[in-house]
Structure 1
Amino acid sequence: FSCEWAAAHFRFRPPRSDLAYALEAGKGGTRAILVAVQAHIITYLLFTRETECTHLERLCRVGRWEQGQALAAALAETLWAAGGGSRAIVCLITTPVTVMSHGGYRANSFTERIRLFEFSEKAAAQGFISDHLNCFKGEGSHGVILFLYSLLFSRTLKR
């Protein structure tokens, strides 16, 4: 992955601002993934979340906690759809390990550290993602790459 991909993570606009519902998207390859997740975030904020606000007011002045809940719901919904509505795989990074390169494989110190968590219920996947949001939102977390791996494993390589 390029430096741009390695640095990419899910980052919202400032909470309680007029664009608090929006993810910040840089230039390049990660933008397509961010836009797809953004669509699910808006759907969650407009139609799923319980609130007294009108539809358009639901998008304005979203707080930090609501941003996190919207992101967790959007990621879980997307992974659940990729898993055919029956499963979701969430990939997280573990502590560094030492792997010797051999054959045609060259260790990159990222792929070797990925750990898979499988869920057979969407709500469980969403709760897990919510509990580990910093793995997707944190600076230097490789959050977009982790989500891409999660999508691939949820979809399965056979499909």
Structure 2
Amino acid sequence: FSCEWAKASFRFREPYSDLAYALEAEKKGTRALLMAVQAHIIKYLLFVQNTEDTHLERLSSIGRRAQGEALAAALAETLWAAGGGGRAVVCLVTAALYVVPQGDYTADSFTERIQLFEFSEKAAAQEFIFDHINCFKGEGSHGVILFLYSLLFSRTLER
């Protein structure tokens, strides 16, 4: 992965601002993936989340927790769809190494530490993602790459 992909994470604009619902996206390679997730975030905030606010007020009246909930819902929904509506796999980075570099594989000190968590219920996947939301949002978290790996494993390599 390029330096840009390695630095990319799901970063929201300032909470309680006019663009509180919006992800920050660079004008390069990760933008398309971020915008696909952004569409699911807006869908969640407008049509799924239950609040007293009107639709447009919902978009700008969200705080950090609501941003995390919306991101968790968007990621879980996308992974669930990739898994054919029957499973979702969430990848997180751990301290332990799970792959020993061999042959033509070049270690990147990231991929070797990915652990897979499989879910057969969308709600459980969403809750797990929310509990680990900083793994996707945090600076230096490789959040976009983790989500991309999660998509691939949810879909399965055979499909």
Q: TM > 0.5 between the two? A: yes
Partner of 1:25: 25
Size of the aligned set, in residue pairs, is 159
Question: What is the percentage of aligned positions where both structures have the same residue?
Answer: 77
Structure 2 residues without counterparts, runs of 5 or longer: none
Partner of 1:125: 125
Partner of 2:155: 155
Q: Which amino acid in 2 is paired with 1:126? A: Q
Partner of 1:81: 81
Separation in 2, partners of 1:107, 1:49: 41
SS of the residue corresponding to residue 58 of structure 1 reads helix
Partner of 1:35: 35
Q: Which amino acid in 1 is paired with 2:77? A: E
Tell me the TM-score normalised to structure 2 length: 0.96
Deviates more, 1:94-103 or 1:112-121: 94-103
Tell me the TM-score normalised to structure 1 length: 0.96
SS of the residue corresponding to residue 29 of structure 2 reads coil
Partner of 1:5: 5
Separation in 1, partners of 2:120, 2:98: 31
Deviates more, 1:28-37 or 1:98-107: 98-107
Separation in 2, partners of 1:114, 1:139: 17
Separation in 1, partners of 2:60, 2:101: 50
Partner of 1:70: 70
Structure 1 residues without counterparts, runs of 5 or longer: none
Aligned-pair Cα RMSD in Å: 1.2
Deviates more, 1:117-126 or 1:59-68: 59-68
Structure 1 residue ranges (4+ consecutive) displaced by more than 2 angstroms after TM superposition? 96-102
The alpha-carbon distance between structure 1 residues 124 and 101, as it changes in their structure 2 partners (threshold 3 A), is closer
Partner of 1:48: 48
Displacement after TM superposition at 1:71 (Å): 0.3
Displacement after TM superposition at 1:102 (Å): 2.6
